Structure 1
Amino acid sequence: MSRSGASPSSSIDAVVIGRNEGARLLACLASLQGQVARIIYVDSGSRDGSVAAAQAAGAVVVELDMSQPFTAARARNAGLARVEADLVQFVDGDCEVQPGWIPAALAGLAAHPAAVVLCGRRRERHPEASLWNRLADREWDTPVGPARACGGDALMVVRALREVGGYCEDLIAGEEPELCLRLRRAGGEIWRLDAEMTLHDAAMTRFSQWWRRTQRAGHAFAEGAALHGASPERHWVAETRRAVLWGLGVPLLALLAGSFLHPLGWLILLAWPLQALRLALRWGDPAAALFAVLGKVPEALGVAGYWLNRLRGRRRGLIEYKG
């Protein structure tokens, strides 16, 4: 895939998506001022004055038709349709772009001619506020170098995006890895740079928020595997299997063995703490290890929910964790 026309001198438009982000949106838009040619804000039914605030900040505002089912992918495509530059910086409305990111991303494009997506380090703004925020911050600390996927914040080559048809609008989660899969198939490269990119405000202060966010990940694994699991990339097949094995397989096997074979069958549940201990020794982070194992339960529920809805011929609505 060629990125002809994309160079360090190319103009950049930014696409920001959001709903009821309030002060976070204002901070996001301010962080982009002077760094991009235009800011395109796609609003999905905000009732907090976000549209007026974005207009006052000089952004081009696109109000999404909320009579259709909302997905972040649909919002990003709506913004992409208004992009006039060679490059687009996608940003979630609860994030701030770090001052040095745009120059670092342009340098990355120059250093990697086949690159069509570049991302950097996304950090949680308040990791000390809760365990759940800290876990999110750790999750985003991905390896530097060639990558398989990016998250919601990334600099992308517009021509490459349009060649593959943009984001898959039906996906309620996991739309970025699915897009990156198609971009890589077309010959593009995804790069994770060693540079500070964005500050994110997850605002997760409750266990229930973490649970729903993790359940959403399981749904994304299942839907991604259903779309591309049979391909050579085996997209998210391993993640789906791990969720089902640890989140459903272990407790179900323990229930059957302990109830119908022998009481010692309940010892199968020891697989969970043993796995957590193994991961803790590898990562040096007991809390992250514990919740990586515990998280397989909501992930498995997300997988099961996806397949149950598919068998019923239904589509799942958004799984939101904020608010």
Structure 2
Amino acid sequence: MTLPSQPGIPDHPVPERLLAQLFRAAVDAVEPKAALTRAFAKEPPLPAKRVWIIASGKASAAMAQAAEEMLAAQSRTLAGGVIVGLERAGRSHPSIRTCVAEHPLPGPGSLAAALALEDLIAHVRPDDEAWVLLSGGSTSLLAAPVEGSGIAQEDLGALFAYLLESGLEIGIMNAIRKRVTRWGAGRLATALGRAGANTRCYVVSDVINDELRAIGSGPCVADATTADDVQTLLTQAGWEKTPDSIRRYLNAVTEGTAPETPKGTNAVFGRVTSRIIATNADATHAAAARARELGLRVARIREPLQGEAALAGARFVDGLDPAIPQDEPSGTPHCVVQG
């Protein structure tokens, strides 16, 4: 089926099929395994060192598979690894452990996954390489309390729950959550660095503006916030709803009796490289390109699409007319893209 023809305007599939083509083009552009394979292809040959794979997020299995294939192609030694996802990964190298964890609220699997990373780091040798493969959902999937913080795992879950209910933007939520999670706010990179590893972090971005500190709670990025900043954010969100153990921990940091998060002055970050391999922009560009191939006039709304889905959808509809040039002939088919 096609829409009725108009003079000078090409035929198009029914809207549902057309939209499905645009959706598929967007998804294919950010397919994690292909994106990581492309990233590897752009890099120089890697030194002959042992490699550890840490893959976390909704795309963890696909990214780990790309890494395993890369290592095999270069006859590199895979020392071991951990894959953390929402379901058990398929076949992988026998030295890789698979962990099933919870999202969007952390649970027992999240704690077990965080401890699995601790065990992996204990086996890292000086000059090993760690490849951290990060995608959406990692904050919850790896959520365990900061070591020695006194925070209870159930309190961590309670914090996550009330932040999700608060309607706060994801960037603000992650600024809070990474502060109280074991591997967030650069703590994974510092632990690997203390073990002597060089860390390469490859990231599929699921946040506005592709801010590395916000993706997966920034496990390999120095933290730019202080405990005072986080207390201010929690006051806005509802300090009284914050579990006691978390309030005590934040107070201890501000008082100097508990350590701050790793900052950019920490020399360990000189051993870390981070690269974003797939973004929202990649997806929207691909959708727009496919729309043009189908003969549609494309209009872009540059403002990021974010917030509560129902409200964001309403804002998108409100922005349709302003996005389309007013001098276009009546009936000209348009595709409005926003992401």
Same fold (TM over 0.5): no
Larger radius of gyration: 2
Give the alignment's TM-score, normalised by structure 2.
0.30
